[in-house]
Amino acid sequence: MLFTLFGVVWLIIGCYPVFYILTTSLRSQNGYLLGNPWVPPIHPTFQNYAQVIQSGFLRSFINSAIVSVCTVLLIVVFSLLLSYVVVRTRNRAVQTVFNWFVVGLAIPVQAAIIPVYILITKLGLYDTLLGMILPMVAFALPLSTLILVNFVRDIPNELYEAMGIEGANDFQIVFRLVAPLARPALISVAVYQFVQSWNNFLFPLVLTQSAGVRVLPLAIVQFQGEHTMDVPVTMAAVVFSAIPLFLAYIFGGRYLRQGMLAGFGK
């Protein structure tokens, strides 16, 4: 009974911020100033969302979607191929390279942002979407590969040998055998990295400057500065930007937990 009560209290504490943001986004400015924040608005309005869309948020939303989707696709493909090479190649050099590769987990992004900025600038990718995608992929590969290696390693050798006897090459083995069997890990990696890339603030801040390539984290900061006193409109912008994250957790949360536990528990 005590644990149940504690769970209910913790659920209320965890859910109330989401409830507050959602209900506040449906209030008018007067309703926010005069209403009760503990109860939903009597006359909800979607005018705040219309104002958010009219302010150019849709363009930033599309930019974030392009960056996040492309980043996730590259991470999933490259980490899958890397994990297959690490598991199936009986070579000390490959294992040594992999060990050094995993060291990337210990390097904070903030410590490498200046070299990244110089590299992106010299490549002519500054202030482009591709200039944000490539660093995100590079810093996400060590963790993603580490998670997938544990799944690929658990696939029986007999299945690899059977595919080889049938004449399948390495790419066919990866995409016809490894990918289907490692689907929980692939989905967990995709969900986790989608959230990370969608919320990434440092790379867009340092590697972009024009409004045409602005992503949602930067757009929210600018929007909040322009509407400091209009809290409901700001909350509508937050809800608008968080919709893909809620969908990602709803449809992939179970696989995300499985992948994280498998990646660190073996």
pLDDT tens digits for range 56-74 = 888 999 999 999 999 999 9
Report the alpha-carbon distance of residue 146 to residue 98 in Å, rounded: 9
Residue 263 has pLDDT above 60, yes or no: no
Q: What is the pLDDT of residue 208?
A: 92
pTM score, whole prediction: 0.86
CA-based max dimension of the chain:
74
* Average pLDDT, rounded, for the chain: 86
Report the alpha-carbon distance of residue 252 to residue 100 in Å, rounded: 30
- Whether 65 and 240 have beta carbons less than 8 Å apart is answered as no
pLDDT tens digits for range 34-58 = 777 777 888 888 888 988 888 888 8
Report the alpha-carbon distance of residue 217 to residue 198 in Å, rounded: 8
C-alpha distances out from residue 232 to 32, 52, 64, 69, Å:
7, 11, 23, 29
Residue 222 has pLDDT above 60, yes or no: yes
